[in-house]
Chain A
Amino acid sequence: MEQITVSHLSKIYNQGQDNEVRALDDVSFTLNEGEFVIILGASGAGKSTLLNLLGGMDNCTSGEYIVGGEDIAKYKPSKLSLFRRRDIGFVFQFYNLMPNLTALENIELAASVAKDPFDAKEILKRVGLEKRANNFPSQLSGGEQQRVAIARAIVKNPKLLLCDEPTGALDSKTGASIIELLNEVATEYKKTVIIVTHNSQISECAQRLIRIRDGKIANNEIIENPLKPSEVKW
């Protein structure tokens, strides 16, 4: 079922000036519900800009971004905030956990603002950290922190899970486990997951692979038989 439609989406910085930058140039694609999508591109290709627009963290210059029949591109900041609150789960490269809340509290915090959240403890258990529930982020390893971040994103029961280089700060083994976890929770909770990365190895797990180059979509393909993260050579 078609869930997200992006058509002719552009993001131009310093428009009309000498130093105009077209970070995203007339991008169009559609995503189906429950898809595991990898957006692959080199540094500066525009993948993070696309993720920010999809996550409602930034406004586009032109184009449409339809989620559940609503054009998010036309949303004002207050509505965008509500969109992030209800429909988006974010996972960042550097985790961005609240340092003064425990692992469980970080998840509860996200749950507290969601419309129809999952049970925080259950999610924590799902990411394998039930024994670390009362530890603060500084007491967790990078991989554990990223697991908490994934749990925090999932607990909101969002329509879309957006991950910006989720393995960027992790070693390959931990990174693989994080991708595996994302893959599992996407399937289990039927969430559309979009991972932005420059790591081409991750792309082997994608159900849909979108390649971005110079702000444009270079390739948008559906992978018929994606590998499981454990099958990928990291």
Chain B
Amino acid sequence: MSVHKVLAKIGLRKIRDYWKRFLAIIAIGTIAVTLFVGLMANAENFSGRVEQTFDNGNMADLWVTTLSHDKRDENAIKEIVKEKGEVESRFEIMGQAGHHSVYVSITDGEPAISHPFDLQKSPSDSEDYFVRIDETLGTASEGDTPANTYALGGDLSLTIDMSTFTARSSWLSDLLGLDRFYEDEKNPLKAKNLELDFKITALMKFPENIAKSAYNNSTVLISDKAFHKAFDNMLYWNMKEGVPEEERLSEMALIHEILTEASLFQGDGTLEYGGRLLCPNQYLIKLNKGEDSSLIKNDVNSYFKSKSANNLLSTNDRSDMPFVITVHNDVEQARNFTFLFPFVFFLVAVLVILTTTSQIILKERQQIGTMKALGLKRSEIMSLYVLITLAVVGIGTLLGEIIGPLLIPWIMDKKYAIIYTLPKLGYVFPWLFGLMTALGFLLIAGGVTYLIARKEISLKPCESMRPRPMIMKSHSAKIRPKKGGIIFLSFKMAFRNMRKDIVKSIMVIIGILGCTALLVCGFGIEDTINYGIKHDMDYGNSQDISLTFSSLKTKEEVKDDLMAIEGIESFEMYTRSTSTIDYEEGHAVDSFIFILGNVGKETHMKYVPDMPIDQVAISYKISEDTGAKAGDNVTFTYSNRTYEAKVYEVYEAFFYNGIIVYGDSPVLGDWGKGYLGANIDIAKGHSQEEIRDKLLNLPYAIQAQTQNDWARSISDVMGGILIMTTAVKVFAILLANTVLFNLALMNFQDRTRDMATLKVLGFNKGEIAFPLIFEMMVLVSIGVIMGLFAGIPFHQGVLALNKVELVHYIYHIDPLSFILSFVLTFVVALLVNTFYSFQSDKIKMVESLKSVE
């Protein structure tokens, strides 16, 4: 039999002999690699599914939206795009479907860009006649009250704000002249909102609806023919009561004639580009692969700027679209999470492998000497130990590489599936990352084994076959050991063991430190998010219900409606809108403006109760991004106007980042005081849910959020990071337990002979266990204490790497999290060590003591 075969046999038998320790290495390796590769697989998987959703619907690369229709625009855009892609147009408008805000997208037939897919059609759905809603429209997020449910073939009532129709007066005047219609608000065309009824022809998936309707304004896709029919019906059924059917029909014919003459609608319902009603107001550009959307965007913007009457509202590429920002934010978080956090796992795993391997090799000292004495080459002996480590670490790595990409994306998908409509979860293996992880892990493990084994293998056979000398300084003659009982001697034994194996002791400390820090960090992230939500609920969201209007309202306009609802005690007008805040040129940031109807302590936003009426407050996030501080002058935009004001204070907020200004502030000048919402306080004896439902019945109410609704929606936004944190916490607990079991096992096995000696001397279980437990717990205590401290900067580092656009983390770790981290390491360590240390029953005194020391 060749040397290599013999060595292979020895190797396999050593794995069998040390199976418990090797099992621990395999478990630690599996946990670390599972998390490391699994999170990366999740990021790639999630990102891939998002892109696939966009590809399935051939989603546009650019959205050009205009304020009014100009027939020349489409040709100009086509001229800019030329061969670089395709251009398509549609009419898009905000609307309401029940309590859901929706984008109503009206197209001339089947769209080719940003088109629906996975359609569930009814027979009435065709290429030129369709009313398609997102398959998730009407389904509510967990705990939310479902306002409407929609089904294929069912009814869909849409409310469209008429104020968004351009130049309606010119054609409405013709219609209003018809005496079959009411002349007041009963006339549907004179009402503020256009109410249209449809039959749903298909449920669809739509690329722009990647976030489910409970989390995003979903798009309803309607063909212009279907829209026209609904419009006709609306007119038909809203004629004065008592008008006979023949007259209604003749009236409708007349209306069609008027509309046709006015070039608004044609008889067959197709869009007439020369008209002013439903002419396209949005151009979708789909570019060929490799084309730079920013160049096209610049050219489009230049075109509109060159026009004498610039009718451009916005040119957005994908990165500007809210639904893309949200999903990409989660993708980015998923990617960022792969680093730092699992990296620490990785380091802890390597450290434990190093400790375990070194202990095994030190135990092999005599065998190494024997093999050398038998004439085996150093390289052969080295290869034996390196290959054993590689085999064991390899198994752990392989298991991690298999389990990670299966388990982690599956866990994460539980959250993603709540928020997003994504293709079925597939198996994605991050090849490059996976291979690099495996190689890195194996190289480190092999390298560590080589370094440890080298020292032992380089000894002469006679040196190896002698016990390793214990290097300890003897006491000076004057120092006599104090008299003491077993406890005192046990302390001595424990401390000397720590000193003797100082490297092992340090590794144990670092291992425990890492596990504790991971736990503190994991718990801390959740604490920070919960603390942020609570902080904003206390200071930024102290009202019972927040009501959002469909259009600007003054206090006087809503006062009677609101106070007429029984249970409403008081209200404050407010506006939350986008704003560009700038401090010195070049530091502008896009954020939010909060215009408060009340002043000082009367306002529901209590971040800066003492703020003078003529000053503003900015959040820390804005201060960080712009560099502006208290006392500086900043500029901010609102409703196409720019204002300037002095910063009174920089306030700390989690979610409500932006600039706070009073509605009555002279800074805003004469701005009309039209607000977008009201903060409502309810009287005692009324539930928030009851008042919310009443508020939603107001014709101009878009959304009414109770405090719970708000906290839930923020939790949903933060759901991605929270579920990752949970996964990491679970893995940190697993790792900590495995590490602790491994260390306890190692300690137990290393001390077998000492325990057997004590047993022979007649020590009882407790007396035998005490020094072992004491030794381990001293090291664990040091590790835990250091870990609790190290967890704080680690937690901040992880959050700093996982910045979310919308929020500013107010770092906070609850005392309970420190206690939990302590319990999960210190107490578990104590239990595990106690368990092992009391296993002295299983030590066979005779066998343990017969062997050569």
A binding-site residues for B, Cβ under 8 Å: 48, 52, 55, 57-58, 77-78, 81-86, 88, 90, 92-102, 104-105, 108-110, 112-114, 133-139, 152, 156
Given A109-B489, A134-B474, A138-B472, is A52 in contact with B846 using a C-beta cutoff of 8 Å? Answer: yes
Residues 216-233 of B contacting A (Cβ, < 8 Å): none
CA distance A78 to B768 in the complex (A): 13
A102 close to B762 (CB less than 8 A):
no
Residue in contact with A85 in the complex, picked from B476, B492, B761, CB distance below 8 Å:
B761
A97 to B486, CA, bound (A): 15
Binary flags per residue of B144-164, CB closer than 8 Å to A gives 1, else 0: 000000000000000000000
22 inter-chain pairs at a CB distance below 8 angstroms, sorted by A residue, are A77-B841, A81-B762, A88-B762, A94-B850, A94-B853, A96-B756, A96-B853, A98-B754, A98-B758, A99-B470, A100-B472, A100-B500, A102-B481, A104-B480, A105-B481, A108-B489, A113-B763, A133-B480, A134-B479, A138-B472, A139-B472, A152-B761
Q: How far is the CA of A86 from the CA of B761 in the complex (A)?
A: 9
List which B457-502 residues lie within 8 A (CB) of chain A: 467, 469-472, 474-477, 479-481, 483-486, 489, 492-493, 496-497, 500
Quick check: is B845 within 8 A (CB to CB) of the other chain? yes
- The answer to the question of B51 belonging to the interface, with a C-beta cut-off of 8 Å to chain A, is no
| With contact pairs A81-B759, A81-B764, A112-B489 given, residues A57 and B846 touching in the complex (Cβ less than 8 Å) | yes
User: Which chain A residues lie closer than 8 Å to B497 at the CB level?
Assistant: 100
B852 within 8 A of A: yes
Asked whether any CB of chain A lies closer than 8 Å to the CB of B451, the reply is no
Q: CB distance A101 to B761 under 8 Å? A: no
Determine whether the beta carbon of A57 is less than 8 Å from that of B845. Answer: yes
The one of A85, A101, A138 in contact with B489, judged by C-beta atoms closer than 8 angstroms, is A101
Residues from chain B with a CB closer than 8 A to the CB of A81 are: 759, 762-764
Picked from B469, B476, B481, B763, the residue with its CB within 8 Å of the CB of A138 is B469
> CB-CB < 8 A to A138: which residues of B?
467, 469-472
Interchain CA distance A156-B757 in the complex, whole Å: 14
- A interface footprint on B655-668 (CB within 8 Å = 1, 0 otherwise): 00000000000000
**Is B565 on the interface with A (CB-CB < 8 A)?**
no
User: B498 — nearest CB in chain A belongs to which residue?
Assistant: A100
Min Cβ gap B504→A in Å is: 14
- B760 close to chain A: CB less than 8 A: yes
> Apart from A101-B489, A134-B476, what are 16 other A-B pairs with CB-CB below 8 Å?
A93-B850, A96-B756, A100-B492, A101-B493, A102-B475, A102-B481, A104-B480, A108-B481, A109-B486, A113-B486, A113-B763, A133-B480, A134-B479, A138-B469, A138-B470, A138-B472
The contact of A98 among B479, B757, B841, by CB within 8 Å, is: B757
Residues of A within 8 A of B467 (CB): 138
Whether a CB of chain A sits under 8 angstroms from the CB of B2 is: no
Output the least CB separation between B473 and chain A (Å). Answer: 9
Chain A CB within 10 A, most for which of B474, B483, B486, B761: B761
- Complex Cα spacing A197 to B455, Å: 38
In the complex, whether B851 has a CB less than 8 A from a CB of chain A is yes
CA A133 to CA B758, docked complex, whole Å: 20
B residues within 8 A CB of A90?
760-761
> For B470, what are the chain A residues with a Cβ–Cβ distance below 8 Å?
99-100, 136-138
Return B625 CB to nearest CB of chain A, in Å. 59
In the complex, B753 has a CB within 8 A of chain A? yes
* Contact across chains for A94 and B849 when beta carbons are under 8 A apart: yes
Chain B residues closer than 8 Å to A55, beta-carbon distance: 760
Task: Report the bound CA distance from A93 to B852 in whole Å.
Answer: 9
Identify which of A58, A84, A134 contacts B481 (C-beta below 8 A).
A134
Q: Specify which chain A residues have a CB less than 8 angstroms from the CB of B475 in the assembled complex.
A: 102, 134
A58 to B470, CA, bound (A): 31
Could you tell me the distance in whole angstroms from the C-beta of A15 to the nearest C-beta in chain B?
18
| A133–B852 alpha-carbon span in the complex (Å) | 24
A168 to B493 CA separation, bound complex (whole angstroms): 28
List of A residues within 8 angstroms of B758 by Cβ: 98
Output the least CB separation between A83 and chain B (Å).
Answer: 8
Known contacts: A100-B500, A134-B481, A136-B474. The answer to whether A113 contacts B761 by CB under 8 A is yes
A109 touches B474 (CB 8 A): no
Is B332 an interface position by the 8 A CB rule?
no
User: Does B767 sit within 8 A of A, measured CB to CB?
Assistant: yes
CB distance from A195 to the nearest CB of B (A): 16
* Chain A to chain B: the 10 pairs with minimum beta-carbon distance, closest first: A85-B762, A100-B496, A134-B475, A84-B762, A138-B470, A112-B486, A96-B757, A57-B845, A138-B469, A135-B474
Nearest-Cβ distance from residue A9 to partner chain B, whole angstroms: 16
Chain A residues positioned under 8 Å from B492 (CB to CB)? 100-101, 105
The answer to whether B760 and A57 have CB atoms under 8 Å apart is yes
With A86-B762, A98-B493 known as contacts, the answer to whether A136 contacts B472 (CB < 8 A) is yes
Residues in A neighbouring B472, C-beta threshold 8 A: 100, 136, 138-139
For the complex, what is the distance from the CA of A56 to the CA of B753, rounded to whole Å? 18
A48, B471: Cα distance in complex, Å = 33
Query: Which residues of B sit under 8 angstroms from A133, Cβ to Cβ?
Result: 480-481
In the bound assembly, the distance between CA atoms of A81 and B475 in angstroms comes to 33
For window 747-774 of B, CB contacts with A under 8 Å fall at 753-754, 756-764, 767
Query: How many angstroms from the CA of A83 to the CA of B760 in the assembled complex?
Result: 10
In the complex, the answer to whether B485 meets A112 with C-beta atoms within 8 Å is yes
Which B residues are in CB contact (< 8 Å) with A110? 761
**A97–B483 CA distance with the chains assembled, in angstroms:** 19
Q: How distant is the Cα of A82 from the Cα of B470 in the complex, in angstroms?
A: 31
Once bound together, how far apart are the Cα atoms of A156 and B761, in whole Å? 9
State A52–B481 Cα separation when bound (angstroms): 33
- The CA of A131 and the CA of B719, in the complex, are separated in Å by 71
Closest-by-CB residue of A relative to B489 is: A109
Q: Which of B479, B489, B763, B764 contacts A105 (CB 8 A)?
A: B489
Q: Taking CB as reference atom, which chain B residue is nearest A114?
A: B762
Q: Compute how far the CA of A102 lies from the CA of B480 in the bound complex, rounded to whole angstroms.
A: 11
Q: If A90-B760, A105-B492, A109-B486 touch, does A95 touch B481 (CB 8 Å cutoff)?
A: no
Cβ contacts under 8 Å, A83 to chain B: 762
Residues of B within 8 A of A102 (CB): 474-475, 481
- The docked-state distance in angstroms from the alpha carbon of A134 to that of B479 is 8
In the complex, chain B residues whose CB is within 8 Å of the CB of A99? 470, 500, 754
Q: How far is the CA of A61 from the CA of B437 in the complex (A)?
A: 56
Q: Which of B300-359 contact A (CB under 8 A)?
A: none
On whether the beta carbons of A84 and B761 are closer than 8 Å, the reply is yes
List the A side residues contacting B480 at CB < 8 Å. 104, 133-134
A90 CA to B493 CA, complexed, in Å: 21
The answer, among B479, B493, B756, B851, for a CB contact under 8 Å with A100, is B493
Out of A48, A85, A104, name the residue touching B846 (CB < 8 Å). Answer: A48
| CB–CB B481/A92 < 8 A | no
A135 vs B483: C-alpha distance when bound (angstroms):
17
Would A84 and B474 be within 8 Å (CB), given that A48-B846, A58-B846 are in contact? no
The residues of B that contact A104 with a CB separation of less than 8 Å are 480-481
CB distance from A161 to the nearest CB of B (A): 13
Residues of B within 8 A of A134 (CB): 474-477, 479-481
Q: Which B residues touch A101, using CB under 8 A?
A: 489, 492-493, 496
Q: List B799-853 residues whose CB lies under 8 Å from chain A.
A: 841, 845-846, 849-853
Interface centre among A52, A96, A102, A105 (most CB of B within 10 A): A96
> Please, which residues of chain A bring their CB within 8 A of the CB of B484?
108, 112
- Nearest-neighbor residue (CB-CB) of B485 within chain A: A112
Chain B CB within 10 Å — which of A133, A136, A137 has the most?
Answer: A136
Establish whether residues B852 and A94, one from each chain, have CB atoms under 8 Å apart when the complex forms: yes
Contact of A109 with B846 in the complex, beta carbons under 8 Å: no
- CA separation between A108 and B493, bound complex, in Å? 13
